[in-house]
Structure 1
């Protein structure tokens, strides 16, 4: 199996909405973004699938060394072998790749965030820099486009947090800021024990409005010149905002189950966004 095939398989198996945004890209850009996505999945799985924290930390340390090897032109892993040819053509910064690894390590260091600024720093590491790298691959000619991508990455991560409250709680993690739990009189025990309440709905409505605002702030700074090139991100935004609406319509019953869109609906949203340009 070639490195590109390995990354393609990794992306397809994930079932992620990101996969649908790649479908309409030219071949080389699609290879690059698929390799980047596979890299993110590999590093994320290092933490999510590890049963021993020391093993997870050792693996993350290995990935840092592997990024260094890739930057030096000597990658050894299928993902870095697939990604390395795209570093220079798409101006992919190794510091951003290392920042993603740092973000994954944050999940080993803490399972709670005191306030929104602290959560936002985490979101930058695991999503904002991914947005910047992705926008570079899609084609960014203006610095404002990278600002848009960073903001969009934040919006995506906030949406993920809303969708995954129950799933994360079952792993012992609560990403909703402690200060906001207190503001809406929802306890950590309520989250961990999946106790849905009116207070929880109000808390989640507050989180949803913040996510919606993040999307609007991202759209507002995207230059018209780059809009066409950035359609993959806009496709993702269409899918994620529809998901957010579904969660809202379901009155935020995310503690008991994970709400998702069907593949055919994702594909329809992707196509509709693509042809709209």
Structure 2
């Protein structure tokens, strides 16, 4: 199979909000970001779909070696073949691709996070780094744009965590910091057993406000000179912030349902954001 088509199919099948923002990019950058996204999906799926942690670890180790081979010009996987011209054209460092794998590996070893500091490291690895790499692919002139992209990546990941509380709990994973559960008097058992309480809603409002702070911080950091080239990230933000608001309007019913936007609504938000200029 053609490597780029493999990545395209992987991205489209995921149904991710990111896919809708990619549609507006020029073809070379679109192929590049879809290849990066497909890589993230490949390593993320290993952790999510492998019930045997030893098998998952073996597969992640394989990908570490694959990154090494990729940077020596000897890729094996279709995604790696698609990434080969990307890492050359955009000068993407191997260390950052490996850091993404480090983040995925944390899911094998950590099912709880004691505080936000430890959670933030996880979020940076699986999303902040992706944001930085994406910003490079989109194009930038001011290094402050990389700080914007890292913060925006964290905001996206915090939104995902809020959306997926129930789904993660069914995998015995809790990404809400344990010290914050204690602060709001929410036992872990409430989350694992899907008990919706007023305390839980207050905890989720706290998480919501933090995510909004990261969105605001990201937008405040984005230099005006790079706003046009970074418009794809702004489309993603428009979709994700709308999702975050929907979750709040639903009363944070995240323990028993997964709030999602329809494809047509995502496309509308993407088009509206693109036309704003």
Q: Structure 2 length normalisation: TM-score?
A: 0.99
Match of 2:40 in 1: 40
Give the SS at the match of 1:158.
helix
| 1:263 equivalent in structure 2 | 263
The superposition leaves residues 95-146 of structure 1 with CA deviations (integer Å, 9 ceiling, x where unpaired) of 1100000000000011000000010000001000000000000001111000
Q: Please report how far the alpha carbon of residue 63 of structure 1 lies from its aligned counterpart in structure 2 after TM superposition.
A: 0.2
Matches within 5 A, 1:57-68: 57-68=57-68
- The alignment status of 1:122 with 2:133, answered yes or no, reads no
Matches within 5 A, 1:92-131: 92-131=92-131
Query: Which deviates further from its counterpart, 153-162 or 88-97?
Result: 88-97
CA RMSD of aligned residues (A): 0.5
Structure 1 residue aligned with 2:167: 167
Return the offset for 1:88: 2.2
1:140-179 equivalence runs, <5 A: 140-179=140-179
In the other structure, the counterpart of 2:21 is 21
Aligned residues between the structures: 277
What is residue 206 of structure 1 aligned with on the other side? 206
Shift of 1:155: 0.3
- Tell me how far 1:91 sits from its aligned partner: 2.1
TM-score by length of 1: 0.99
Q: Where do 5+ consecutive residues of structure 1 fail to align?
A: none
Residue deviations 1:214-264, cap 9 Å, x none? Answer: 000000010111100001100000000000000000110000010000000
Cα drift, residue 93 of structure 1: 1.2
SS for the counterpart of 2:88 is: coil
SS at match of 1:87: helix
How far apart, in 2, do the equivalents of 1:19 and 1:253 lie?
26
Structure 1 CA distance for aligned equivalents of residues 21 and 107 of structure 2:
27
Q: Equivalents in 2 of 1:212, 1:90: separation in Å?
A: 30
